[in-house]
Amino acid sequence: MAGIKIITDSASDLPVDEATRLNVDVIPLSIRFGDEEFVDRRDITPTAFWERCANTSELPETAAPSPGLFQQAYEQAKQDGFDGVVVITISSKLSATYQSALAAKEAMGAYPVTVIDSQAVTMAEGLLVISVAEAAAKGASFDECTSLAQGIIPRLGVVGALDTLEHLKRGGRIGSAAALLGSMLSIKPLLTLRDGEVVEDGRQRTRAKALDHLARDAAEASPFERLAVVHGAADDAVRLITMLAHIECDTPLVVTDIGPVVGTHAGPGIIGVCWIEKI
């Protein structure tokens, strides 16, 4: 089997059916609740993760995959006859996953492996993976897949809204007093990605206004090649999806769950829009 193997990590929140359709390998991060450790998407689903968060006071933690996990995937791709491997990871500023993938490359000798820092997370990373995997499926070469990925990265966008400050408080990212005040005032922090890092994109006083802000940001950035709505146990996701219906996009909207990697830090109710801007 000739062709290029595409590999990503579970921080991409790539839907299982898309990974299957495009023959993409997803290397899982690990999630720990106290002494219990779970392999993302294998031992714990997004639904089970959110249920557990709702019923425990323990703040989960995440851990990057080992280089060994990536090396196994590279070796399997080589054994299966692929001409090379293109790996797309979560932003190197958010996780050590990129470094693990890079370390594993060293063990592969002359076998072509390129590791690409998406500078993104969740479905911004996932949409990038879909674009590159579709190109690979149509016969794009190793160099073409690499160039395509690098050309898309500057056009990736993410905006999100938190519904609770509890996880930020428990993770030590804001103080208890700030979290209490924010909850009393019903403050909904807005987030975006800038240079591979998650930064604040403003605040809204209500959830409805936060969703309006997300839809407005997306509309201003359009038209798109690809567009996705991602959320973690958010019961108002349909409202946001409806607000995005008029936005011009070359491909159908993707709706998927935010998993444990992002959810650990964001908390339940997190909702976001991810896209690839059209050239």
The enclosing H or E element of 199 equals strand 197-204
Q: Are 160 and 126 in the same domain?
A: no
| Residues 191, 93 share a domain | no
CATH no. for residue 237? Answer: 3.30.1180.10
Q: Identify the pLDDT of residue 173.
A: 41
Q: Are residues 144 and 22 in the same domain?
A: yes
Give the separation between CA 9 and CA 44, rounded to whole angstroms: 15
Domain boundary residue among 125, 154, 183? Answer: 154
24 vs 131: CA distance, rounded Å: 12
Let me know whether 101 and 205 are in one domain. no
Q: Rounded to whole angstroms, how far apart are CA atoms 34 and 51? A: 16
DSSP 59-71: PPEEEPPPHHHHH
Please list the pLDDT of the chain residue by residue as tens digits (279 residues).
579 999 999 999 999 999 999 999 999 999 999 889 999 989 999 999 988 888 877 778 899 999 999 999 999 999 999 999 999 999 999 999 999 999 999 999 999 999 999 999 999 999 999 999 999 999 999 999 999 999 999 999 999 999 876 655 454 444 443 433 444 446 788 889 899 988 888 889 899 999 999 999 999 999 999 999 999 999 999 999 999 999 999 999 999 999 998 888 788 899 999 999 999
- Based on the domain organization, do 14 and 81 belong to the same domain? yes
Judge if 72 and 144 occupy the same domain: yes
How many folded domains does the chain comprise? 2
The answer on 216 and 138 residing in a single domain is: no
| Closest to 13 in 3D by CA, of 236, 199, 213, 229 | 229
Query: 170 is in which domain, residue-wise?
Result: 156-277
Predicted TM-score (pTM) of the model is: 0.92
Report the pLDDT value the prediction gives residue 105, as an integer from 0 to 100. Answer: 98
Last residue of a domain, one of 112, 130, 154: 154
> What's the CATH code of the domain at 19?
3.40.50.10170
